[in-house]
Structure 1
Amino acid sequence: MTDQTIAHQVETFNEGFTAQIGPELSAVFDGEQADLRAAGVPSSALGVGATAPDAPLTDPKGAATTLDAVRAGTPTVLVFYRGAWCPYCNLTLRTYQQELLPALQERGAQLVAVSPQTPEGTETAIANGELAFPVLSDPENVLAGRFGIVTEPSAAARAAHTQLGFDVADSNADDTARIPFPSVFVIDADGAVRFADVHVDYTTRTEVATVVEAVDALGALAR
C-alpha cells in the first residue's frame, strides 16, 4: 500500500526519468505536454449527464465483450489509459489496485480499465500492477472515440519514443499510434455519466480520493 498521492509519485518518478533520458529528450516531452495543456480538453469529450456509449471490447484472452456487458447495471469507474508502455499509466493503475479498488468494493461499485492495446499488452499491464479488476482492450479506439477522448503522440514525441526503443503503434491492436487521453468516468447503474475527468497532460491523473468522492455522490443522488 502507498499513502502517497499519484501526483507525488509522479514527481518522484520524473526526477529519475529526466536524469535517465537526458535533457534533450526531456525537453521534447515537456514541449508535448505544454502543447497538450494549451489545447485543453477536446470539446468532443463526454461530460456529466451524457449516456455512456457502448462499444466492442476484448478481454486479455482475446474473447469479445462490450462495455454494457461489463457494466451489467453496476456503478462503474471507467479508466482509460494509454498502455503498458506508459510508466504514468502503470503507476496509476497500481495505485488504483491498492487503494481505489477496495474502496469501490465497499461501495458496491466496480473498476474497469481500457486501452487500445492488443490483448497481450493488456496482460502486461495486468502483470505490471498485479491488477485484480477487469482490464480490457478497445482495439480501434472505438469506445474512446465515442467518449470523445482520442489523441496521439506528437511527431517529435514519437521520434523520441523511437530513440528510447519503442513505438506506440507496435503496442496497439490497430497498428496506429492513436491513444485515449488518460480519463476517468464514473457511470451510474442506469448508464449515465456522473463524473468525468479528462487529463490532456498524461503525467497527471485523477487521485483516488477524488474518484471515491464521485462514487459517494452516486448514493446522494439516489436518496
Structure 2
Amino acid sequence: MTLQSKLDAFKTDFEAGKPPYNVPPSVIETMHRATAELIESGIARHALKAGDELPAFGLSDPEGNMVSSGDLLSSGPLVISFYRGVWCPYCNMELQALQEALPQFRQLGASLVAISPQNAANSRKSVRQNSLSFPILSDPQNAVAATFGLRFELPDYLIDLYTTLKNDLPAFNGDTSWTLPMPARFVVGQDGVILYAEVNPDYTRRPEPDDMLPALRRAARSAA
C-alpha cells in the first residue's frame, strides 16, 4: 500500500466523521477553505526547487544536540522532510513511510532528518510514537522553513478552529507565531545543491519515499 493510498483512506474516514473522529462537516469545510486559499496564494511557487543551493542551517535534535547541515552533508547526500507536528496524522504517516524507506536511503549513503517547529519534548514524542531511528530537528518560529520558502501564517479563522480542536500550536511549538511549514521533501547532494524538491500546500498530499531514489542514486554516483 502506498503512502498516498494510506493518507487517502484516512482522509475518507476522517472527513466522513467516522468514529473515533466524529468531525462535523463545518470543521471539514473550514479546513478545505484554508487549503484552497493557501494553494491559490501561490506561495508554493516561491519555495526552493531542484538546482537551488541549500540554505545552511544548524538546529537542535530532541536531546538538545546541535545538528548542522554541513556536518550532515560531510558524510553523504541528505534527505530533508519538513513536518508540521506530532498533532498532524498525515505527517505521522509520512514519517512512518520514511522510516520504512530509511534502509534504502542509507544504502545509497544518505542521511535523513525531519524538521518541525515543535519543541524538543514533542519531537521526542514523535520519535517514540512513530518508532523512528532518524532525528526530528526543532525549528523555532519556522525560521529555517522560511529560508526554504515554506513558512506561512495561519488565517484567523483557522487559528480559531485549531484552538477549538485543542491544536494549540503555541504550546506545541513554544512560540506564539501561529505559523507552519508547508509539507516538503528535499534531496541535497554533498555539494549543497538541491537535487529533488517536492512542496505541496495541500497537507493531505505527500510524495512517495521511492520518488527520491533516482536523485539519491545520482548523488551516490557523483560522490563515487
Aligned to 1:8: 5
SS at match of 2:124: helix
Match of 1:49 in 2: 51
Secondary structure of the residue aligned to 1:21 is coil
1:169–1:177 Cα contact (<8 Å) kept: yes
Distance 2:138 2:128 in 1: 15
Aligned-partner Cα distance in 1 for 2:73–2:171: 29
Counterpart residue identity of residue 111, structure 2? Q
Contact 1:49 1:194 in 2 (8 A): yes
Once the two structures are superposed, the pairs formed by residues 1-223 of structure 1 within 5 Å of their partners are 4-18=1-15, 19=17, 20-98=22-100, 100-219=101-220
Q: 1:176 to 1:41 in 2, by over 3 A?
A: closer
| CA displacement 1:34-92 (0-9 Å, x = unmatched) | 11222234343111222111123011022333222233341011111111111110010
Segments of structure 1 that go 5 or more residues without pairing to the other structure are none
2: CA distance between counterparts of 1:61 and 1:93? Answer: 19
Root-mean-square deviation (CA, aligned residues, Å) is: 1.8
Deviation of 1:172 after TM superposition, in Å, equals: 1.1
Equivalent-residue separation in structure 2 for 1:41 and 1:211 (angstroms) = 23
The question of whether the paired residues in 2 share the 8 Å contact of 1:49 and 1:192 is answered with yes
Unaligned stretches of 5+ in structure 2? Answer: none
Percent identity of equivalent pairs? 32
Aligned equivalents of 1:74 and 1:220: distance in 2?
11
Runs of 4+ with deviation above 6 angstroms: none
Task: Determine the C-alpha separation between the residues in 2 that align with 1:131 and 1:198.
Answer: 23
Amino acid at match of 1:108: G
Contact 2:92 2:130 (C-alpha < 8 Å) held by counterparts:
yes
Answer whether contact 1:60 1:120 (CA < 8 A) is retained.
yes
Q: Quick one: which amino acid aligns to residue 144 of structure 1?
A: A
Flag the 1:155–1:80 CA change in 2: closer, same or farther, 3 A.
same
For 1:48 and 1:119, locate their aligned partners in 2 and report how far apart those are by CA, in whole Å. 30
- Give the alignment's TM-score, normalised by structure 2: 0.90
How many residues were matched structurally? 219
